[in-house]
Amino acid sequence: MVALALAAVAAVLQQTLIEDDPKDTWASTNSAAEGNPLRLWKLMIPALRRLLVADILVRFCEQIPYAFVVIWAVGTPEQPGPVTALRFGLLRTIEMATAILIYIPVAYFADRAHKKPFVVATFVFFTAFPLMLLFSRSFEMLILAFVLRGLKEFGEPTRKALIMDLAPEDRKAGMFGLYYLIRDVIVSAAAFGGAFLWLASPELNLLTAFAFGAIGTLWFAWKGKDVWPKPVEA
């Protein structure tokens, strides 16, 4: 109920605080908008497709254990985990605080440097979390694991900016939507498959997630395209 109330407040704030572009500006920039995903796919350049492949693999790493992280930490009534529900809430707070603290500074520096290293770094953090979780059997170790999980936001602003840089100039919004449509439809299979891996073995679930992340990270480090920072005007 609290989550539902917060969503309603967010919807109201969005409508009241975010101004629309003037209609004439919107019409001039969106007159050639493309709504056919198949046509948009043909316009997606190879560099953006390679980023998409890497992103899908890394999101497999995130989603395979995602729903089971709380079970790993809190456990079940029959087999309690290393922390209580209250302490798990504290771990999530630590994760979010870490993400908030790094988000703006990293985005600032990413605008003044190459984008690829930031994206590789965030993929590394995604990949390292399930492996770190595998060895976290105490509250202290879980704190380190959730700090690492918060660091996954390290290159997220940069990755989104890279998508926009690699999208066609007159199809940026449509290409951004197509990118996320393809990614999330495919990655939904990982969330489903993670349940079968967990039933086989929690350790197998975490190691499989790590393997997908490692492949995606190495793929992007090898094939991913860098984008030079744009000169900052006085």
In the block, tokens 């309690």 appear at: 80
Provide the residue count of the chain: 234
CATH number assigned to the domain comprising residue 115 = 1.20.1250.20
Average pLDDT over residues 4-28: 81
Greater confidence (104 vs 53) lies with 53
Q: In this predicted structure, what is the pLDDT of residue 79? A: 86
d(CA 78, CA 20): 54
pTM of the model: 0.86
User: 11 in a domain, yes or no?
Assistant: no
User: 213 in a domain, yes or no?
Assistant: yes
How far, in Å, are 72, 145, 189 from residue 139 at the CA level? 12, 10, 31
d(CA 147, CA 143): 6
Greater confidence (107 vs 81) lies with 81
User: 185 in a domain, yes or no?
Assistant: yes
- Which residue range(s) make up the domain with 175? 37-73+84-223
Greater confidence (54 vs 157) lies with 54
User: 13 in a domain, yes or no?
Assistant: no
Domains identified in the chain, total number = 1
